Amino acid sequence: MPRSSRYLREGYTYHLTHRCHDRRFLLKFARDRDVYRRWLRVAVQRYKVPVYNFTITGNHVHLIVHVDSVERVGQMMDLVAGCFARQLNRRKGHEGSVWEHPYHCTIIQDGRHLLNCLKYVSLNMVRAGVVEHPSDWRWCGHDELLGMRKRYRILAVDRLLESLAIDRIEDLRSVYVDGITKQLETRVLVREPCWTEALAVGSRSFVERIAHGTRNRSRFRYTDWEEISGSTAGSVQEPGEAYSPFST
């Protein structure tokens, strides 16, 4: 399966996508999304993984993380997925696979490309037609990015500022909100496959450097440069099955 967790490298920011087995909606109930979020918070605190944003949908999860340690990211994902699966199966009274393996990962260039990815993840359930605004979906990092969540926080906002090269949290919130508002007003809410189907998203020099340093790099192909979330960017992809029409 392309773009698996074997491509994790230390020192980079990643968009991780983990979907339920057979595209089943195992997170469709609020109580199950609450359980996943609680375990995510536990795992983040235990393994000290900087999480920049997240969205928990009905059948998959989006996480934006910075990889200080490949091992700790793996431990975080294993703990969350494993504990959630055991709790779900115990409640339902049966055994069975809950997650597809492995999770997918896409390297995101820090700076404006990361900012665009933050907005893309926050708008996930708006694109899916479930809510009208990210603030209406409480299983995402939108409220925490805006400083509205005071307890049980997950996001590493200070580290996020470093990755975005933004000095003040007020400036981040301003540019983030402006971007969300613009996309909602113009209804630019189409799915952008590069965020889940590419090995890397960023400038041409960035994605070429990533591909060059990847084992079996001849397997990868460059996509045409295009408008992604309102700015010009490119990606490098591994041929294979597209992520899923269910992953918005």
Whole-angstrom distance, CA of residue 17 vs CA of residue 118: 13
Return the DSSP state at 225. P
Q: What is the pLDDT of the chain when averaged over all its residues?
A: 86
pTM above the 0.85 mark?
Answer: yes
pLDDT digits (tens, 9 = 90+) for 145-192: 999 988 889 999 999 999 999 999 999 999 999 999 999 998 878 888
**Radius of gyration for the chain, computed over Cα atoms and rounded to the nearest angstrom:** 17
Say how many C-beta atoms besides its own lie within 10 A of residue 120's C-beta. 27
Confidence of residue 232 (pLDDT cuts 50, 70, 90): very low
Pair 113, 201: CB distance under 8 Å: yes
Q: Can you tell me the mean pLDDT for 195-203? A: 85
Pair 82, 140: CB distance under 8 Å: no
Q: Can you tell me the mean pLDDT for 218-239? A: 52
CATH 2.30.110.10 holds for 5-237 = no
pLDDT of residue 148: 93
Pair 78, 62: CB distance under 8 Å: no
